[in-house]
C-alpha cells in the first residue's frame, strides 16, 4: 500500500462522484428520504380492522358486546348484515376481515346463568392480521365475559397474568421499525454504492490505463472505498438524527458504540459490493448479483420483519451470512435495549470477520490483469 | 545496461486459440520499435503481456531488465502505456487527470508543476486545464493520454495503435512527438496497422497469426523482398483486381489508390500476360511498370513466404 | 413512424436474447436465482409464533406452578429455554436475546391458588419485535385463562354464564402465515426480475454508443421497445412458472382458483415491471444512475404493497399511494386466486388497475424512449 497512490485514487473517485450530481444526491439523501417515508407509512399496529357483526340476538347484552368491540379502537364495524348468508360474500370480496356472529339465544343463555358462545370468523388469507385480530377479539370477549361473571357473581378467576413489555413499553411498532429500517436501508444502499465502481471502469477502458501504472490493487480497492465510507457514515448519522428528532425513537445505548459498529458494518457491506464489481466486471451482471444477494436477504433474512428463531435450521444457518442480520441486532440493541459491548461483542466480532472477508475478497478478486 | 525489452518464446493462448505463438525478439534502448500487422495478428496481446496486463501462457519477457512475471511492479515503474482506446477519465478535467496519474506514478510535488506544464504544452492544452476531458477533440485527447502516460518520464513507452481513428494531420503531429521522445533517449514500442507509419520506425516486426514473420529495418525489409511488384494502371481498378486475383503467376494483388499492385513470380512473363488477361476480361491497361515495393507489399510477401494466409 | 416490421423485430429479438445470455452466468442468475430465493424466502416468511424462547423464574416451585408451565409449553407456542431463581438472570436473558418472553411465578403462587384469593404471575415480553410480542401476549393470556378455568372447574368453583369466543379462520384454517406469504414472495421475485431485465437495457446501449447505431437504422421506437420487451417477458414468464410450481409442490400452498385467471394478471404485472424498467433506463444517463433509481423504486414498491405491513394500518395518504402500486394489486389477485379460489369476476377492480398501469407505463416508456433516441 502506498499512501500517495491510495490518495490519488480516493480523490479521483470523490471528484467523479461530485461530477454526477444525480447519483450524489441519491447517495446522500436516499436513506433519510426512505426512512422518513417508511417511518410514517408502516406500522405493525393493527387497528381499524374492518369488521362485520351479525347480531341475531338484538338484545341489550349483545349490543354491549358490540360496543366493547367498537370502543376498543382495534375494530371498525363497517357492516351489519342481516343474514348469516351474506357473510360469505363479505369475506370473499375482502370487505371485512372479521365477522362476529351473535346467536339468537345469546341473551337468554346469559340471563339464565348459562354459558353463551359467539362465533368469530376470520379471513385467514392474511394470516398476520388474522392472528392479531384473533388475539384482540378474544381479549375483548374475555374481558366482557369476566365483567359479566365478576359483577354478577363476585367470582375471582383463580389465576391472572400480569404482562409487562420491556424495551418498547407501548408496543409501538415505530420504535421497533425505525432502528431496524436504518439497518436494512443501509445494507441495501452500501451494495448499491460500490457494486458498479470497478465494473464500470473495466467497461469504459479506464481500468486498463490504471492497471498499467504501478498502483497496487490494495490502493485501488481501499482508495475507491474511502469516499463511500464517508457517504455511508453521513447517511447513518442523518438517519439517526431523523429517527430521534422526528420519530422520537429512544436512543438508550452509547452513540459512540453505534458509530464504531456502523463503521465496521459499512466496511463489510461496501467491500462486498466492491467484490461483486471486481468479480463480474460487467455492470449489468453486477446489478443482478448485487440486487439478488443484498436486497431481499436484507429485508427477509435479517430478522427485521421475520423472526430468525422461527426459521428452519438450514435457513437459520444462511442468515449468519447476511451482514444485515448483525446490524439489525446492533441498532435495535443500542436504540431500544441500551445494551453495550458485553452483549454486542458477538455481533461486533461477526462484523469484523465480514469486513475482513469482504476486503480480502474484493482485493483478491480484483485482478489488474485482463482475463 | 540491458536491452529495453527482451522477449523469449512468449506465448499466450485463449482456450484453443493461440493469440501469440512463441515470439522472440529484442528491443534496444532508444529505439523506435514498430509492430506491424492486421487486426488480430497478436500485437495487442503481446503488448499487454509486456505491460503486465496479461499473464503469458509460457515463455518469458524482460522489460527494462525486469521479468514481467515476477517483477511486474518494477516493470510498471519503468514504462508508460497508452492503449488503443482512449482511456482517461472523461468526467475528470484535464488537470485532474494529470494529477491522478502523477499520483499513481509517484511524481513528487517538487516535479509536479514542471511535468504538468510540460504535458499541457505538449497536448496544446495550456489555458484549458479545467475543461472536462470528455469534451476535447479526439486528437487532443490522444496527446493528453500520451502526456499522462509519460508524466514520470519512463525510459520505455508502449503505444498500442495510438493513432487509430485520428485524422492524418493529428497523426503526423503525434509521430513528431514520438520522434521527440526517441531523440531524448526513450525507447518507444509502437504497434500500428497503418503501413506508412511503420516506415517511421527504426525497426519493424511484422506479425501475422500470432507469429513474427519478419523483423528488420524498413529499408532492409524492402530490399529483402524477392518477388517483383508491378503497378498496373487501369480504368476499372476494382474489377481488374478481381480478375487478377486468380490469374496464374500472380501471388497477391492489392489496391493502391487507382492502381493495382501485383506481386508476381516472374516479372517478364507477367508483364506480357497481365495485359492479355485483362484484355480478355474487357479491361484495357493504361500502363504497367515495375516499382519499388512498399511495406504493404513487404507484408504480403512475408505472409506468402511463411506459407500462411492473412489474419482477417 | 413506420409500421412494425416482423422481420426487423425478429432480428432485434435474436440480438437481445443473444446479448442477454452471452454470459453463461446470466442464465444462472435469471433462472436459478429465483428458484433458490423462493425456497429460502418461503421458509423465512413465517410469522407464526412457535417455540418462542421463554425464560422462567419459578419462586414457588410447587406442583401447581410446574403444571402451569407444562400447559404453557404443551401448546407448542412457547419453549422454555432457561430457568433460574434470580430475577437478574431474566434481565440478562432478554438483554442478550436468549429469550423473548419471561415468566416469573412468585412464591406463594400455589397457596394463593388454593385459597381462592387469586394467584398472580408476571409475564415480560421483549418489545423490540412488537409483532411477536403482541401475538405472544395474546396467546399467553389465553393459555393462563384456560388454565385458570380448568382449575376452577376441577375445584367445582366455576360458575357458568361466561361468554366463549369460538374462532374459525376461513381460507387458511390453521392461520399458517407461510401459505399467505409465499404468494407474496412470488410477486416480489417477479417484480425484481422484470425490473432487472429492462432497467439497464437502453442506458447500457447509450453508454456504449450502440444506441446511436440503432437510432440511425430504420428501426422505429415501437420496434425497439418490442425487441427489448418480448425476450424479457418470455424470461419473466418462465420464472413465474418455475416459482409458482415450486410454491404449490414444495410449500403446498393451496391453489384453489384457476391458473388461467392468474395468467392475464401475471402478464399485466410483468408488463408493468418491464415498462417501469424501460422508463428508468430511458431517463438515466449512466448505468449507475439507472441502478440507483431502480433501488429507489423497488423499496417502496415492496414495503407499500401490503406484503409485510397491513395497508389498512397506514396513514390515509399512504393508503392512497398504494393504489398506484402495481405490486399491491397483483398481491391481492395472487392471494385471492390461491387461497380464496376467486376469479376474474371477483377481482375485476385489480385487473382493471393493472391494465391501466401497464398501458400507462408502457406508453410513457415509449414516449421517453423516443425522446431518448433523439437525444
Average pLDDT, integer, range A142-160:
65
A261 and A353 together in one domain: yes
Asked, for residue A188, whether it belongs to a domain, the answer is yes
**Domain identity same for C280 and C193:** yes
Q: Taking CB atoms and an 8 Å limit, are A212 and B96 in contact across chains?
A: no
Mean pLDDT over C334-353 rounds to: 86
Closest residue to A141, CB basis, from C165, C310, C321: C165
Q: Say how far apart CA A254 and CA A267 lie, in whole Å.
A: 20
Counting the structural domains of chain A, the total is 2
Contact yes or no for C196 and A125 at CB 8 A: no
CATH for C94 = 3.40.1710.10
Decide which of B303 and A44 is more confident. B303
A273 lies in the same domain as A133: no
Domain boundaries, position A112: 49-153
Q: Are residues A85 and A221 in the same domain?
A: no
Contact across the interface for B106 and A370, Cβ inside 8 Å: no
Residues in chain A with CB shorter than 8 Å from the CB of B90 are: 204
Residues A188 and A229 in one domain: yes
Mark whether C136 and C237 lie in a shared domain. Answer: no
Query: 220-279 in A: which are within 8 Å (CB) of C?
Result: none
Q: How confident is the model at residue C328 (pLDDT cuts 50, 70, 90)?
A: very high
B92–A212 CB contact, under 8 Å: no
Judge if C24 and C64 occupy the same domain: no
Cβ distance B53 to A16 less than 8 Å, yes or no, reads: no
**Pick among C92, C110, C140, C167 to test the A interface (most A CBs inside 10 A):** C167
Residues of B at the A interface, defined by Cβ within 8 angstroms: 48, 51-55, 73, 76-77, 79, 81-83, 85-92, 96, 99-106, 132, 145, 148, 158
In chain A, % of residues over pLDDT 70: 91
On whether both C13 and C92 belong to a single domain, the answer is no
Identify whether the C-beta of residue C196 lies closer than 8 Å to the C-beta of residue A291.
Answer: yes
Q: Residues of A at the B interface (Cβ-Cβ below 8 Å)?
A: 2, 4-5, 7-9, 11-12, 15-16, 19-20, 204-206, 208-216, 368-370
Q: Do C287 and A343 touch (CB under 8 A)?
A: no
- Asked if the structure places residue C363 within a domain, the reply is yes
| Residues C271, C316 share a domain | yes
A6 within a domain of the structure (yes/no): no
Sequence-distant (≥ 6) Cβ neighbours of residue A169 within 8 angstroms: C127
Q: Give the mutation candidate from B89, B99, B103 for the A interface (greatest A CB count, under 10 A).
A: B103
C340 versus A252: which is more confidently predicted? A252
Boundary residue ending a domain (C86, C120, C154): C154
Among chain A residues, the shortest Cα distance to C349 is held by A93
Contact predicate C275/C237, CB 8 Å: no
Is residue A137 located within the same domain as residue A194?
no
- Give the model confidence (pLDDT) of C171-222 as tens digits: 666 667 777 788 888 988 899 888 888 888 888 888 777 777 766 766 777 7
Residue ranges and CATH numbers for the domains of chain B are 5-221 (3.40.50.300), 226-292 (3.30.70.100)
Which CATH number fits the domain that encloses residue A72? 3.40.1710.10
Task: Look at C289 and A124 and tell me if their CB atoms are within 8 Å.
Answer: no
| Residues contacting A75, CB < 8 A, separation 6+ | A48, A49, A51, A69, A98, A133, A136, A137
Q: Are residues A125 and A177 in the same domain?
A: no
Q: Are residues C282 and C208 both part of a single domain?
A: yes
CA distance A10 to chain B (A): 10
Residue C100 domain flag? yes
The answer to whether residue A34 is domain-embedded is yes
C186 and C127 within one domain: no
- C302 and C205 together in one domain: yes
Residue C139 has a pLDDT of 82
User: Of C104, C121, C154, which closes a domain?
Assistant: C154
Nearest by CB to residue A128, choosing from C177, C340, C346, is C177
Quick one: C206 and C323 in the same domain? Answer: yes
Residues C229 and C297 in one domain: yes
Task: Tally C-beta pairs within 8 A across A and C.
Answer: 394
What ipTM was predicted for this assembly? 0.76
Among the partner residues A5, A15, A216, nearest to B92 by beta-carbon distance: A15
Residue A24 in any domain: the answer is yes
A31 is a domain residue: yes
Interface touch B104/A216, C-beta < 8 Å: no
Nearest CA in chain C to A91: C170
Instruction: Calculate the average pLDDT of chain A.
Output: 85
Q: Are the beta carbons of C336 and A46 separated by less than 8 Å?
A: no
Q: Under a CB-based contact definition with an 8 Å cutoff, are residues A296 and A288 in contact?
A: no
Mean pLDDT (chain C, rounded): 82
Q: What is the pLDDT of residue B307?
A: 66
Question: Would you state the pLDDT for residue B50?
Answer: 93
pLDDT value for A98: 87
Residue to mutate among B64, B82, B100, with most A CBs inside 10 A, is B100
C79 SS3 class: strand
Query: What is the rounded average pLDDT of the residues A77-87?
Result: 85
Buried/exposed code over B47-79 (b: 16+ C-beta within 10 A; e: otherwise): bbbbbbbbebeebebbbbebebeebbebbbbbb
C-alpha cell read off for A11 = 480523490
pLDDT in the model for residue C56: 93
Dump pLDDT digits (tens) for C272-318: 999 999 889 888 888 888 888 888 888 888 888 888 777 777 788 88
Of A145, A172, A282, the CB nearest to C162: A145
Confidence band for C39, pLDDT divided at 50, 70 and 90: confident
Strands across the sheet containing A116-123 = A75-79, A49-55, A98-102, A116-123, C163-170
Nearest to C161 by CA among A146, A136, A159: A146
pLDDT at C1: 43
Binning pLDDT at 50, 70 and 90, where does residue C169 land?
Answer: low
Answer whether residue C168 is part of any domain: no
Does one domain contain both A79 and A202?
no
> Residue C54: beta bridge partners?
C80, C101
Could you tell me if residue C1 is inside a domain?
A: no
CA distance A361 to chain C (A): 19
What is the full per-residue pLDDT of chain B (312 aa) written as tens digits?
Answer: 578 999 999 999 988 899 999 999 999 999 999 998 887 888 989 999 999 888 899 999 999 999 998 888 889 889 999 987 767 888 899 999 999 999 888 888 899 999 999 999 988 898 899 999 988 888 888 889 999 999 999 999 999 988 877 788 888 888 898 999 998 899 999 998 777 788 889 999 988 888 998 888 888 888 877 778 888 888 887 888 888 888 888 888 887 777 888 888 888 888 888 888 888 888 888 888 888 877 777 777 777 777 666 554
User: Do both A279 and A142 map to the same domain?
Assistant: no
- Kindly state whether residues C80 and C213 are assigned to the same domain: no
**pLDDT score recorded for residue A270:** 94
User: Who wins on pLDDT, A158 or B111?
Assistant: B111
Is C260 among the domain residues?
yes
Q: Does residue C353 register a pLDDT over 90?
A: yes
Q: State how far the Cα of C41 lies from the Cα of B12, in Å rounded to an integer.
A: 46
C81 and C220 fall within a common domain: no
Number of domains in chain C: 2
**How many Cβ pairs within 8 Å bridge chains A and B?**
83
Cα three-residue angle B260-B262-B266, rounded to 5 degrees: 150
pLDDT tens digits, one per residue of A301-330: 888 877 777 788 888 898 998 999 999 989
Smallest CA–CA separation between B103 and chain A, in Å? 5
Which whole number is the average pLDDT over A203-218? 86
Query: By residue range, what is the domain housing residue C191?
Result: 6-45+176-374
Amino acid at each position: 500500500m502506498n499512501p500517495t497512490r491510495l490518495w490519488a485514487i480516493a480523490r479521483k473517485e470523490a471528484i467523479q462522484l461530485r461530477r454526477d450530481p444525480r447519483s450524489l444526491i441519491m447517495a446522500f439523501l436516499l436513506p433519510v428520504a426512505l426512512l422518513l417515508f417508511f417511518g410514517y407509512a408502516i406500522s405493525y399496529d393493527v387497528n381499524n380492522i374492518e369488521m362485520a357483526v351479525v347480531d341475531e340476538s338484538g338484545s341489550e347484552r349483545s349490543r354491549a358486546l358490540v360496543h366493547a368491540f367498537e370502543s376498543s379502537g382495534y375494530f371498525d364495524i363497517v357492516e351489519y348484515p342481516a343474514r348469516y348468508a351474506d357473510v360469505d360474500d363479505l369475506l370473499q370480496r375482502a370487505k371485512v376481515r372479521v365477522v362476529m356472529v351473535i346467536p339468537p339465544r345469546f341473551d337468554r343463555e346469559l340471563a339464565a346463568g348459562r354459558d353463551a358462545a359467539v362465533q368469530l370468523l376470520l379471513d385467514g388469507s392474511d394470516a398476520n392480521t388474522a392472528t392479531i385480530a384473533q388475539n384482540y377479539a378474544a381479549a375483548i370477549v374475555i374481558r366482557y365475559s369476566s365483567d359479566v361473571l365478576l359483577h354478577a357473581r363476585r367470582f375471582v378467576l383463580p389465576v391472572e397474568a400480569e404482562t409487562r413489555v420491556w424495551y418498547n413499553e407501548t408496543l409501538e411498532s415505530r420504535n421497533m421499525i425505525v432502528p431496524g429500517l436504518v439497518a436494512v436501508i443501509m445494507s441495501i444502499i452500501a451494495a448499491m454504492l460500490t457494486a458498479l465502481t470497478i465494473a464500470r471502469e473495466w467497461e469504459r477502458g479506464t481500468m486498463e490505463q490504471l492497471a498499467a501504472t504501478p498502483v497496487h490493487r490494495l490502493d485501488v480497492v481501499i482508495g475507491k472505498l474511502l469516499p463511500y465510507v464517508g457517504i455511508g457514515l453521513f447517511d447513518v448519522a442523518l438517519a439517526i438524527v431523523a429517527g430521534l428528532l422526528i420519530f422520537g425513537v429512544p436512543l438508550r445505548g452509547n452513540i459512540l458504540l453505534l458509530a464504531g459498529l456502523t463503521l465496521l458494518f459499512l466496511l463489510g457491506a461496501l467491500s462486498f459490493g466492491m467484490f461483486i464489481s471486481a468479480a463480474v466486471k460487467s455492470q449489468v451482471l453486477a446489478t443482478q448479483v448485487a440486487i439478488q444477494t443484498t436486497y431481499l436477504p436484507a429485508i427477509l433474512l435479517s430478522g427485521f420483519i421475520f423472526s430468525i428463531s422461527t426459521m428452519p435450521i438450514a435457513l437459520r444457518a444462511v442468515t449468519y451470512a447476511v451482514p444485515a442480520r448483525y446490524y439489525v441486532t446492533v441498532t435495535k440493541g443500542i436504540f431500544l435495549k441500551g445494551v453495550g459491548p458485553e452483549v454486542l461483542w458477538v455481533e461486533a466480532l461477526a462484523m469484523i470477520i465480514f469486513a475482513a472477508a469482504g476486503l480480502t475478497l474484493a482485493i483478491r478478486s480484483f485482478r489488474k490483469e485482463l482475463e | 545496461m540491458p536491452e529495453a525489452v527482451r522477449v523469449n518464446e512468449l506465448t499466450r493462448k485463449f482456450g484453443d486459440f493461440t493469440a501469440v505463438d512463441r515470439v522472440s525478439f529484442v528491443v534496444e534502448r532508444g529505439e523506435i520499435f514498430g509492430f506491424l500487422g492486421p487486426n488480430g495478428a497478436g500485437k495487442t496481446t503481446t503488448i499487454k503481456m509486456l505491460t503486465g496486463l496479461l499473464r503469458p501462457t509460457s515463455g518469458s519477457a524482460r522489460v527494462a531488465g525486469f521479468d514481467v512475471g515476477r517483477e511486474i511492479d518494477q516493470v510498471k515503474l519503468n514504462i508508460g502505456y497508452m492503449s488503443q482506446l482512449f482511456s482517461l477519465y472523461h468526467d475528470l478535467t484535464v488537470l485532474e487527470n494529470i494529477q491522478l496519474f502523477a499520483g499513481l506514478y509517484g511524481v513528487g510535488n517538487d516535479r509536479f508543476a514542471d511535468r504538468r506544464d510540460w504535458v499541457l504544452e505538449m497536448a496544446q492544452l495550456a489555458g484549458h486545464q479545467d475543461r472536462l476531458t470528455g469534451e476535447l477533440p479526439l486528437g487532443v485527447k490522444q496527446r493528453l493520454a500520451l502526456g499522462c502516460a509519460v508524466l514520470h518520464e519512463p525510459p520505455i513507452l508502449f503505444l498500442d495503435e495510438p493513432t487509430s481513428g485520428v485524422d492524418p494531420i493529428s497523426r503526423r503531429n503525434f509521430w513528431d512527438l514520438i520522434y521527440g521522445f526517441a531523440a531524448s533517449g526513450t525507447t518507444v514500442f509502437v504497434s500500428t496497422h497503418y503501413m506508412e507509419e511503420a516506415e517511421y520506425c527504426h525497426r519493424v516486426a511484422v506479425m501475422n497469426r500470432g507469429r513474427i514473420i519478419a523483423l528488420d529495418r524498413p529499408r532492409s525489409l524492402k530490399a529483402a523482398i524477392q518477388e517483383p511488384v508491378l503497378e498496373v494502371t487501369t480504368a476499372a481498378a476494382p474489377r481488374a483486381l478481381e480478375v487478377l486475383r486468380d490469374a496464374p503467376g500472380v501471388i497477391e494483388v492489392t489496391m493502391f489508390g487507382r492502381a493495382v499492385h501485383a506481386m508476381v513470380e516472374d516479372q517478364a512473363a507477367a508483364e506480357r500476360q497481365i495485359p492479355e488477361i485483362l484484355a480478355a476480361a474487357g479491361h484495357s491497361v493504361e500502363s504497367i511498370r515495375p516499382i519499388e515495393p512498399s511495406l504493404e507489399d513487404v507484408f504480403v510477401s512475408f505472409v506468402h513466404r511463411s506459407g500462411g494466409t492473412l489474419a482477417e | 413512424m413506420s409500421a412494425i416490421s416482423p422481420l426487423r423485430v425478429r432480428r432485434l429479438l435474436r440480438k437481445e436474447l443473444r446479448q442477454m445470455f452471452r454470459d453463461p452466468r446470466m442464465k444462472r442468475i435469471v433462472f436459478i436465482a429465483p428458484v433458490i430465493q423462493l425456497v429460502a424466502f418461503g421458509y423465512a416468511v413465517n410469522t407464526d409464533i412457535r417455540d418462542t424462547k421463554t425464560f422462567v423464574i419459578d419462586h414457588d416451585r410447587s406442583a401447581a406452578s410446574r403444571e402451569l408451565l407444562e400447559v404453557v409449553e404443551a401448546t407448542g407456542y412457547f419453549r422454555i429455554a432457561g430457568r433460574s431463581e434470580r430475577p437478574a438472570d431474566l434481565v440478562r436473558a432478554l438483554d442478550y436475546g436468549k429469550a423473548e418472553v419471561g415468566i416469573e411465578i412468585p412464591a406463594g403462587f400455589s397457596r394463593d391458588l388454593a385459597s381462592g384469593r387469586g394467584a398472580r404471575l408476571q409475564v415480560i415480553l421483549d418489545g423490540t419485535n412488537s409483532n411477536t410480542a403482541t401475538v405472544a401476549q395474546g396467546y399467553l393470556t389465553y393459555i393462563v385463562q384456560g388454565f385458570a378455568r380448568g382449575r376452577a372447574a376441577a375445584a367445582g368453583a366455576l360458575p357458568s354464564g361466561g361468554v366463549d369466543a369460538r374462532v374459525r379462520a376461513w381460507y387458511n384454517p390453521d392461520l399458517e402465515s407461510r401459505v399467505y406469504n409465499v404468494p407474496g414472495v412470488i410477486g416480489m421475485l417477479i417484480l425484481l426480475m422484470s425490473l432487472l431485465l429492462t432497467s439497464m437495457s437502453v442506458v447500457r446501449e447509450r453508454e456504449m454508443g450502440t444506441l446511436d447505431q440503432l437510432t440511425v437504422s430504420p428501426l422505429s421506437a415501437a420496434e425497439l421497445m418490442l425487441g427489448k420487451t418480448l425476450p424479457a417477458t418470455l424470461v419473466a414468464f418462465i420464472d413465474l412458472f418455475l416459482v409458482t410450481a415450486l410454491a404449490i409442490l414444495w410449500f403446498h400452498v393451496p391453489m384453489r382458483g384457476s391458473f388461467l385467471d392468474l395468467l392475464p394478471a401475471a402478464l399485466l404485472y410483468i408488463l408493468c415491471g418491464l415498462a417501469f424498467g424501460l422508463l428508468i433506463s430511458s431517463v438515466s444517463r449512466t448505468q449507475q444512475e439507472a441502478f440507483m433509481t431502480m433501488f429507489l423504486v423497488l423499496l417502496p414498491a415492496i414495503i407499500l404493497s401490503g406484503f409485510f405491513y397491513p395497508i389498512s394500518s397506514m396513514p390515509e395518504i399512504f393508503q392512497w399511494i398504494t393504489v398506484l402500486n402495481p405490486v399491491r394489486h397483483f398481491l391481492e389477485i395472487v392471494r385471492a386466486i390461491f387461497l380464496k379460489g376467486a376469479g376474474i369476476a371477483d377481482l375485476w377492480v385489480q385487473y382493471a388497475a393493472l391494465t391501466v398501469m401497464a398501458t400507462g407505463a408502457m406508453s410513457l416508456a415509449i414516449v421517453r424512449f423516443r425522446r431518448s433516441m433523439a437525444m
